[in-house]
Chain A
Amino acid sequence: MNAPSSKLAIGGIALRSRLFLGTGRYPSPAVMREALEASGAQVVTFAVRRVDLDDAGDDPLLRHTEGRDLVYLPNTSGASTADEAVRIARLAREAGLGNWVKVEISGHPRLLLPDPVETLKATERLAREGFTVLPYTSDDPMQALRLEEAGAAAVMPGGSPIGTGLGILNPYSLGWIAEQAGVPVIVDAGLGSAADAATAMELGADGILVNTPVAKARDPVAMAAAMRLGVEAGWLSRQAGRIPRRAYASASSDEAGAWFARPPATGGIRP
C-alpha cells in the first residue's frame, strides 16, 4: 500500500503495483487468474507464438485477463537477433493492447542470458518507432546505462538466469544499476522467493518481475501474495533507511542499573 506519491511511473502510466507478473507455466488458467488477483500486479507479461493451425482452440490466455485494468507487456522471447525482436514487437502491437514491449533476446540456449549487442540495437530501433521499451538485460551497470541512452523506458536487469530461482547473484552490480539509473529499474529473472523480492527492492529496485517462482510454487496463489508483501516490505524498508552493518555488537538496553557482575572480556575462559 504505497502512498500515492511513491507510485512507479513507466511510459507515462502511473502503476498501482511494483510487482510485474508473468503468465507462463501455471497449472491452469484459473490458477493464473487467482494468482494475478492475489499478486495485485497491474503489469502482466506474455509471449508471442504461432497459432497452432492444426488445433485452433480458443484464445488460451487473454480470456482470463481481458476486462481488467491491466498493462500488457508482451516479450520478444524466441528472438535471437534484433531483427526478430522488432518483428515480434510490431506484431504484438497489432493486438491493440498498447505499445509496451519487453525486449528479450536470448544469446545462448542454455544460459538464456540476453545478448547485449542485439538487445541494444532492438531497444534503439523500437524506441524510435514509439514503443515503450523495457529491455531485459544482464546485471551489467554499463549496459544498463547504454540501454537508457538508447531510449529504454525502464531497464530490467536479471538477478540470475531465468527460471533458476538462484536469487540475486550480484547484489553489488544490481545496487549500482539502481543507484545510477535515470529510468526505473525492474529486477527480472532468477528470483526464487519473497525474500529475493524484498532483497531486490532493498537494493534500490523500483519493481520486480516474476513468473516461474509463482507459477511453479507448490501454492502459486499463496506465493503470489507472498511476493506482493515481499515487494512492499522491501520497498518500505528501503525508504525507511536501514542501519549500517557493523562488526561489533551493541546492546539494545542501557548498561546503567545492571546489578550483576559482567563476564570478563575474555568470555568464558577463566584467567
Chain B
Amino acid sequence: MRTIEDCKLYVITGEQYHPGRPLAEVMEAAIAGGADIVQLRDKNGTPAERFAKAKFLRALTRRHGALFIVNDDTELALAADADGVHLGQDDLPLEEARRRVGRGMLIGISTHEIAQALEAERAGADYVGVGPVYPTATKPGRKAVTTSYVSEAAAMLRIPFFAIGGIAPETAGDVLAAGARRLCAVSAVVGHPDPAAVCVSLKRSIEKWEALDAGRMNGWTTAESMETEETKKSEKIKETEETKVTEETKVTEETKVTEETEESEVTKVTEESLVTEECMKTAAVVSPVAATADGMRIPLLLNGKRAWSEASTLGALATALGLAERRVMAELNGEAVPREDWNTVQIRADDRVEFVQFVGGG
C-alpha cells in the first residue's frame, strides 16, 4: 500500500458541485487522472447513505491503489476500513481520535496557521491541510490564509502538508512556487466536466516542480535521486504560462477540509480553465545552491523517469548522458528520431524521451 509520503494529489468529494452526476463516475475519473487520495466528505447524508458511499469508495480506491480517508467520523472510517480519518480544528482532539482508530490509521488535521500545524505535528498527525489558501465557497466564513502560510509550512513542517482552498490548475503555479509540493482540490476537480483532465494537469504541475527541486548531476537527474525532499524556497521564479482555453467551465470555489456543516450558496465563477493538451510552462530558475546558475532546466520524462535537462537538443542530451558514441536509438514523444537530426531536434518541457539499444533476444 502506498504511504502518505507518496501522495501528491488529494481530492475531496463534493457532490453539490456535480448535481446530476453520480459520485462513482466523478471519483473514478479523478483517480484515473492521478488523484492519490480520496476523502469522503458528506455532511448531509443519512448514516446509511454515508456508509454505502464509504464502502463504495473503499472498494474503488483499493482497486486503483489510492488511499481512502473519511472526513470527521472515526466510527465510519473504522467501519469502512478506511486508510485514515481527517479532523478539523473543532472536531475530536487528535489524541482521542488516535485512541479510537489506533496507530495503523492515518490522521490528518486541518490547519489555518503555522501554530496549529506545528501542534498537529507534535501530537502525531500523519499529515496536515494548509489553507484555505484562497477564498472558497465551501468555507464562506473562513479567511483565506494566502500563500505566505504555505511558505511557512514548507519551511517549518516535517510531516507532509497539502495546500487546500481554491486550488485549481490556474492557481497551482503560485501555490507550488510558494513551496507546496502536495495539493488538495475539490470543486476544481469534481465540479469540472472532465475531472480526470484537471487531475492530470494538477499532477503535471506538481511533478514539474519536483523536477525543478532536484539537484544537478551532469545536467540531468532522475526521480530516484530526488529522495532528498528539499524544497528550495529561496528561488526566484519567473514563469511564463501558455494556457489552452477549453470551454468555459463553471468553477465554484473551494473546500477546506472538514469542520462546520452549513454549505452556503455556491457562487458561480466563470473561468477559462486550462486543461489537457501540452500546456507548456518553462521556468527559469536562479538557485543560490546551484554552482552555475541561470541554465534553463527542462523537466522531462526520460526513459520513464522524471528528470530534467539543461540540454536543449536531443544531441546535447545524449552527450550529457554519455551516449553520443554509442549505438543507441532515440524517440521523442513516441516518434523515432534519426541520428542525423539529433542536434537540431529541440527538447521542450514535458517531452517524453526514450533512449534504447539492442540487447540479447530471440
Interface residues of A (CB under 8 A from B): 22-26, 32, 45-51, 53-54, 56, 58-62, 72, 74-75, 77, 87, 90-96, 162, 188-189, 209-212
Contact = CB atoms under 8 A, between A and B. Distances in A.
Given A22-B362, A32-B360, A49-B357, A87 B336 contact: yes
Nearest to B302: A53
Interface stretch (B34-42, B228-236, B322-330): B322-330
Contacts of A90: 335-336
The 10 A-B pairs at the shortest CB distance, nearest first, are namely A47-B361, A211-B362, A22-B362, A24-B360, A90-B336, A46-B358, A23-B360, A51-B355, A91-B329, A94-B329
B361 A211 contact: yes
Interface residues of B, number: 30
A46 B336 contact: no
B222 A59 contact: no
Q: Counting chain B CB atoms within 10 Å of each CB, which of A32, A45, A212 scores highest?
A: A45
Contacts of A56: 321-323, 326
B321 A53 contact: yes
B360 A91 contact: no
Contacts of A209: 362
B303 interface: yes
B361 A22 contact: yes
A94 to B, nearest CB: 5
Contacts of B304: 50
A97 B166 CA distance: 55
Nearest to A162: B362
A212 B321 contact: no
B356 A51 contact: yes
A5 B337 CA distance: 41
B361 A91 contact: no
Contacts of A75: 361-362
7 contacts: A24-B362, A26-B360, A50-B304, A51-B303, A94-B338, A209-B362, A211-B362
Given A22-B360, A22-B362, A92-B358, 16 more contacts: A26-B360, A45-B362, A47-B359, A48-B356, A50-B303, A50-B354, A51-B357, A53-B303, A54-B222, A56-B322, A56-B323, A59-B327, A61-B360, A77-B361, A92-B329, A209-B362
Given A51-B323, A54-B222, A56-B323, A74 B302 contact: no
B47 interface: no
Contacts of A188: 362
A51 B325 CA distance: 13
Contacts of B222: 53-54
A49 B362 contact: no
A59 B327 CA distance: 7
Interface in B26-71: none
Nearest to A90: B336
Nearest to B331: A91
B228 to A, nearest CB: 17
Contacts of A210: 362
Contacts of B322: 56
Given A87-B331, A94-B336, A94-B338, A50 B355 contact: yes
Contact of B329 (A26, A72, A95): A95
A41 to B, nearest CB: 12
Contacts of A53: 222, 302-303, 305, 321, 355
B224 interface: yes
Contact of A46 (B323, B328, B360): B360
B19 interface: no
B339 interface: yes
A23 B323 CA distance: 23
A58 B359 contact: no
Contacts of B22: none
Contacts of A51: 303, 321, 323, 326, 328, 355-357
B240 to A, nearest CB: 29
A75 B321 CA distance: 26
A47 B360 contact: yes
A53 B323 CA distance: 9
A54 B304 CA distance: 13
A59 B326 contact: yes
Nearest to B318: A51
A60 B336 contact: no
Contacts of A87: 331, 334, 336
Nearest to A66: B327
A237 to B, nearest CB: 25
Contact of A61 (B329, B330, B338, B359): B359
Contacts of B335: 90
Given A87-B331, A90-B336, A50 B358 contact: no
Contacts of B360: 22-26, 32, 46-47, 60-61
Given A162-B362, A212-B362, A49 B356 contact: yes
A46 B359 contact: yes
Nearest to A92: B329
